[in-house]
Structure 1
Amino acid sequence: MTELTIQTPDDWHLHFRDGDMLPETVPATARCFQRAIVMPNLVPPVTTAQMALEYKSRILAAKPEKSSFEPLMTLFLTNDTSIEDIKAAKAAGIIACKLYPAGATTNSSAAVSALEAMYPVFEAMAEEGILLLVHGEVTRSEVDIFDREKAFIDEHLSKIVEKVENLKVVFEHITTKDAADFVMQGPDRLAATITPQHLLLNRNDLLVGGVKPHNYCLPVLKRSTHQQALRDVVKTGSKKFFLGTDSAPHEKHRKESACGCAGCYSAWSAIELYAQVFDELDALDKFEGFASLHGADFYGLPRNKGTITLVKESWQIPEQIILPNGNPIVPFYAGQTINWKLKA
């Protein structure tokens, strides 16, 4: 196959950041995705419906002229989130709330530290039809960073899914066989997103031959056995798994530092990299479901009406991109040649 046409896809998990970043990050996503679930971990975090609507207006102001791209907004859950906040979010058209354990990732220090206290909020979300999006890692210092996803499943996520019967849950950016098995064996109201980096890379790609800061993300890359489990699960075509890039930009100097920031900026190459994975797996017939159908169906939203076309053509991802403020950013897979390209 040298050409592939699919229904216009959506990105069910990404970070646009804010301010000067938006003129770069919004067009990068809008070039091929019709909708995107926008993460709320700004500074300060997006904790109210009003803040989400204001952020949405800034995103829309940065989208390309004539683009029909639609940002889908989320709230950042804290231990101060109230049932009234959830009702206000529903009224404002916000479709999901994000659960970060405090300290789990970028700008998450204000997130949930007492998870057991959140059950009334989860119940309210289920009643209002608002989805729970989960960064599934424990953050206790004594738990090895490579084991934190499994520990979160065992200690928290399994209980949330069991106790809050009507709550739709997306286990975001899963990285382990444990997570893939948990989602596959769970109820139909449990699904997961998978990033390009966790399909393409494992922890050797982060650590062998020197630390590769632009491959550093959270949850961190895992063993090759876990990478293979994720590749195996997308190859099944299961409707429980769909595209979520977790594209997360940081300026070059913030990645290449003594305490480098976590995140891979994949927006400019994500759909092409996913296509390359499915081609390697001899599963291009499953690609449209993963990229364009399963996420919309799980969220209860209409499927997109348009299409995009990818052609089998080699091209090189740029070594860096210059942001509007003049600073460089290194995209995911920078300088590497890939085999699929979005048709103009």
Structure 2
Amino acid sequence: MTSDTPQRLTLTRPDDWHLHLRDGAALEAVVADSARQFARAIVMPNLKPPVTTTDAAVAYRDRILAALRQAGGDVTAFDPLMTLYLTDNMPADEIRRAKASGVVKAVKLYPAGATTNSDAGVTDLLGRCAPVLEALQREDMPLLVHGEVTDPSTDVFDREALFIDQVMIPLRRAFPALKVVFEHITTRDGAHYVRDAEGPVAATITPQHLLYNRNALFIGGVRPHWYCLPILKREVHREALVEVATSGNPRFFLGTDSAPHARGLKEHACGCAGCYTALHAMPLYAMAFEKAGRLEALDDFASRFGPEFYGLPRNTGTLVLERVPTVVPDELPFGATTIVPLAAGETLDWRVAAG
């Protein structure tokens, strides 16, 4: 450490543009972790049953704020931005209702079977969903895509690259003015596609995909708490993600994809996909950017580019990180059970300053 190494980092208060909060006791256990760091969050709709209507999204938002209040959080300082779960049968008029609500900000595409609670997802995007896509384009509401094909014959490490050819390129050709967020990109293919694509296209990037490659899944044995979908990839892909995330390109911004699962459901014969990072997201991102020698680029990635893409104002508050070595807890309360955060037991270089 040199004398000019920063000891404190003041950021415009960031937003999380991809977050899973679950419901019920699980929601109450995790929501305050996000609210401590982020002013707003795009909340995923893959509950059971999924959030497919504006009325359901408004009711879910009410539950989120009630859970935050129950956890002792400041409900005036955290704004859940809601999404709808796209299905083959969604009526196009639901987009008009969503836009008019003021609280629904996007629609989420899960290819059927792609990830947790995605069984009700889309089977025919450009066919059965075309009226909804037209309405989204007309209302200037983003489509958020889980960018993997789900053909079981496709190698899990190739699913994102094939999604670009089979879904993204035809989608952009059919709806060139549609805002699309390619969520949690994991490959050089995804990074370069978003960087070079024509029209309103952006991408979110998670902390785990900036910090780890697929070796992290197998150090000392199979490590289920590093397992997420899309799965961690080769080092060449991690390097490409770091390059675009730290480049100052406004198409790339923060989305944790923090996805809580009970410890027993992760450490299981068929463990759930998802990494819990809401507890320590900003310290993780700070480590990734500092390792790349681009700590000064974190503010734009975390706090500027997302609001610009969504057409929302930038936050006016601040978040302060301080350089204090901090050990990630081995586990956290999670309703009647526990949850294991990503990098449990490891020491992070940064923490969120109190106050």
Listed as ranges, the matches of 1:97-112 within 5 Å are: 97-112=107-122
**Which residue type is aligned with residue 85 of structure 2?**
F
Aligned mates of 2:73, 2:125 — CA distance in 1? 42
Aligned mates of 1:37, 1:83 — CA distance in 2? 21
**Which residue type is aligned with residue 273 of structure 2?**
A
Shift of 1:187: 2.6
Shift of 1:208: 4.1
| Cα distance per residue 1:90-112 (max 9 Å; x no partner) | 12121100000000000000010
Counterpart of 1:313 in structure 2 is 324
| Cα distance per residue 1:112-148 (max 9 Å; x no partner) | 0112222221111010111100000000011111000
Q: Secondary structure at the match of 2:154?
A: coil
Shift of 1:179: 0.2
**Which residue type is aligned with residue 76 of structure 1?**
Y
Structure 1 residue 24 corresponds to structure 2 residue 33: no
Aligned mates of 1:206, 1:324 — CA distance in 2? 26
**Normalised TM-score (structure 2):** 0.95
Q: Secondary structure at the match of 1:268?
A: helix
Query: Cα RMSD between the aligned structures?
Result: 1.0
**Normalised TM-score (structure 1):** 0.98
**Which residue type is aligned with residue 36 of structure 1?**
A
Shift of 1:226: 0.4
Structure 1 residue 155 corresponds to structure 2 residue 160: no
**Which residue type is aligned with residue 91 of structure 1?**
A
- Number of aligned residues: 343
Q: Which moved more, 1:261-270 or 1:183-192?
A: 183-192
Q: Secondary structure at the match of 2:32?
A: helix
Ranges in structure 2 where 5+ consecutive residues have no aligned partner: 1-5
Aligned mates of 2:323, 2:73 — CA distance in 1? 28
Aligned mates of 1:155, 1:66 — CA distance in 2? 44
Counterpart of 2:314 in structure 1 is 303
Structure 1 residue 332 corresponds to structure 2 residue 342: yes
Aligned mates of 2:219, 2:28 — CA distance in 1? 35
Counterpart of 2:95 in structure 1 is 86
Counterpart of 1:135 in structure 2 is 146
Aligned mates of 1:212, 1:229 — CA distance in 2? 24
Shift of 1:324: 3.1
- 2:194 touches 2:203 (CA, 8 Å); kept in 1? yes
The one of 45, 69, 74 aligned to 1:66: 74
- 2:225 touches 2:340 (CA, 8 Å); kept in 1? yes
- 1:97 touches 1:131 (CA, 8 Å); kept in 2? yes
Ranges in structure 1 where 5+ consecutive residues have no aligned partner: none
Shift of 1:177: 0.1
Aligned mates of 2:74, 2:351 — CA distance in 1? 22
**Which residue type is aligned with residue 340 of structure 1?**
W
Q: Which moved more, 1:289-298 or 1:206-215?
A: 206-215
Give the 4+ runs in structure 1 shifted more than 2 A: 64-67
Listed as ranges, the matches of 1:269-280 within 5 Å are: 269-280=280-291
| Cα distance per residue 1:311-339 (max 9 Å; x no partner) | 111010100001232x1110111110010
Q: Secondary structure at the match of 1:313?
A: coil
Aligned mates of 1:124, 1:234 — CA distance in 2? 31
Aligned mates of 1:28, 1:18 — CA distance in 2? 15
